[in-house]
């Protein structure tokens, strides 16, 4: 059970720090927020002011058009209400941060979303020792164990090559922020022709390029409809929402595959025939999740979204950690 003497408490708006009077990744607009990264489920518009990393600031300026923001370099220390704060790479997407908070000799770390696999499109994860660790549990089941990324990108390249031999276009479905750029950097050694991308991906590509990430040449998919005849054997990366009926009609013969960690289970269910897509995740898998908890040295763990109750139980029974799921934390009325 959460007690009010804790540095952080659960509220209806999200995680709140009474001592500093700020929130972390709040779900509704607040006066002051710390933002871990630029995905919409973590970064909402309307905050009076927010703090984030330099790269996340660039992304949020494009996504939210909200400039009332203070950005920080990695591991730069600053204080709010006597709480010492710093941002440390989470390895999820460009600019994604674990947020370290220190007060009265205790260290709390809010991990946000994170992964430990190699990914040249963003800063690599850095372990932050702490007393209390707040972790996600998106893929917190032993079945979720990712392949070496190079193997997966080779599989994608072979799929594209096979489609080209059949004069088919290859459509990869991926989030505009993070997943698309990971695919682009992973395919950089293979791709000779420009890759067609949705406008939302191109906008995020500009943010990535601004922060020094090397990406392959791309072409905006909106230019596709100006071509006659439509090309074949092309690679196209789109968010799910970008695959409109109008565009599908213009793509000509094509195959579609998704890039997602959820394909680990979906593919296993399909014992014959084509799979649903490729297993590419920007979240930590089971082995790295457990390893991270151990290496932080945290004696207390809060487990947020995903398989939070089952993972909290595993931590208590198998790892000897005082762990509690988000749903089981007492809600603080001040939120």
Look at residue 198 and tell me if it is in a domain.
yes
Look at residue 334 and tell me if it is in a domain.
no
Q: Is the pLDDT of residue 5 over 70?
A: no
Indicate whether 293 and 189 sit together in one domain. no
Look at residue 312 and tell me if it is in a domain.
yes
Distance separating alpha carbons of residues 47 and 248, to the nearest angstrom: 38
Look at residue 4 and tell me if it is in a domain.
no
Look at residue 2 and tell me if it is in a domain.
no
pTM: 0.93
Indicate whether 167 and 252 sit together in one domain. yes
Mean of the per-residue pLDDT values of the chain? 92
Q: Tell me the CATH number at 82.
A: 3.60.15.10
Q: How far is CA 241 from the centre of its chain?
A: 18
Indicate whether 182 and 240 sit together in one domain. yes
Domain that residue 300 falls in: 9-143+283-328
Under a CB-based contact definition with an 8 Å cutoff, are residues 33 and 11 in contact? no
Look at residue 333 and tell me if it is in a domain.
no
Residue 225 pLDDT grade (very low, low, confident, very high; cuts 50, 70, 90) = confident
In 3-state terms the chain splits into helix, strand, coil percentages (rounded to 5) of 30, 25, 45
Indicate whether 115 and 197 sit together in one domain. no
Indicate whether 162 and 273 sit together in one domain. yes
Q: Tell me the CATH number at 269.
A: 3.40.50.10890
Indicate whether 253 and 184 sit together in one domain. yes
Indicate whether 28 and 57 sit together in one domain. yes
pLDDT of residue 270: 53
Indicate whether 227 and 125 sit together in one domain. no
Q: Is the pLDDT of residue 118 over 90?
A: yes
Under a CB-based contact definition with an 8 Å cutoff, are residues 26 and 14 in contact? yes
Tally of domains in the chain:
2
Indicate whether 110 and 22 sit together in one domain. yes
Look at residue 212 and tell me if it is in a domain.
yes
Strands annotated E in 215-321: 218-220, 235-238, 254-259, 277-278, 300-306
- pLDDT by residue (tens digit) across 156-199? 999 999 999 999 999 999 999 999 999 999 999 998 889 999 99
Q: Which of 94, 87, 105, 98 is nearest to 39 (CA)?
A: 94
- pLDDT by residue (tens digit) across 309-329? 999 999 999 999 999 999 999
Under a CB-based contact definition with an 8 Å cutoff, are residues 182 and 282 in contact? yes
Look at residue 322 and tell me if it is in a domain.
yes
Indicate whether 94 and 131 sit together in one domain. yes
Residue 275 pLDDT grade (very low, low, confident, very high; cuts 50, 70, 90) = low
Indicate whether 120 and 84 sit together in one domain. yes
């Amino acid at each position: 059970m959460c007690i009010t003497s804790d540095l952080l408490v659960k509220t209806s708006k999200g995680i709140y720090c009474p001592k500093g009077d700020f929130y972390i990744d709040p779900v509704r607009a607040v006066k002051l927020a710390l933002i871990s990264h630029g995905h919409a489920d973590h970064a909402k518009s309307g905050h009076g002011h927010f703090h984030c990393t330099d790269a996340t600031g660039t992304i949020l300026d494009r996504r939210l058009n909200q400039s009332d923001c203070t950005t920080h370099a990695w591991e730069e220390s600053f204080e709010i209400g006597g709480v010492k704060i710093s941002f440390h790479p989470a390895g999820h997407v460009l600019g994604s941060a674990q947020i370290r908070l220190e007060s009265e000799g205790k260290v709390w770390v809010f991990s946000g979303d994170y992964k430990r696999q190699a990914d040249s499109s963003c800063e690599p994860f850095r372990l932050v020792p702490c007393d209390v660790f707040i972790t996600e549990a998106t893929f917190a089941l032993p079945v979720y164990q990712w392949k070496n990324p190079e193997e997966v990108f080779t599989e994608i390249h072979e799929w594209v090559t096979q489609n080209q031999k059949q004069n088919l276009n290859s459509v990869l479905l991926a989030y505009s922020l993070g997943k698309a750029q990971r695919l682009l950097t992973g395919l950089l050694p293979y791709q000779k022709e420009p890759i067609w991308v949705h406008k939302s991906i191109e906008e995020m590509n500009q943010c990535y390029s601004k922060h020094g990430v090397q990406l392959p040449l791309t072409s905006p998919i909106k230019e596709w409809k100006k071509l006659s005849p439509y090309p074949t054997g092309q690679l196209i990366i789109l968010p799910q929402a970008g695959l409109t009926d109008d565009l599908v009609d213009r793509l000509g013969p094509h195959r579609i595959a998704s890039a997602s960690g959820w394909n680990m289970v979906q593919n296993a269910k399909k014992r014959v025939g084509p799979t649903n897509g490729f297993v590419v995740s920007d979240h930590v898998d089971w082995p790295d999740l457990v390893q991270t908890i151990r290496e932080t040295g945290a004696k207390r763990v809060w487990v947020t979204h995903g398989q939070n109750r089952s993972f909290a139980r595993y931590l208590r029974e198998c790892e000897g950690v005082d762990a509690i799921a988000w749903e089981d934390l007492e809600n603080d009325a001040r939120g």
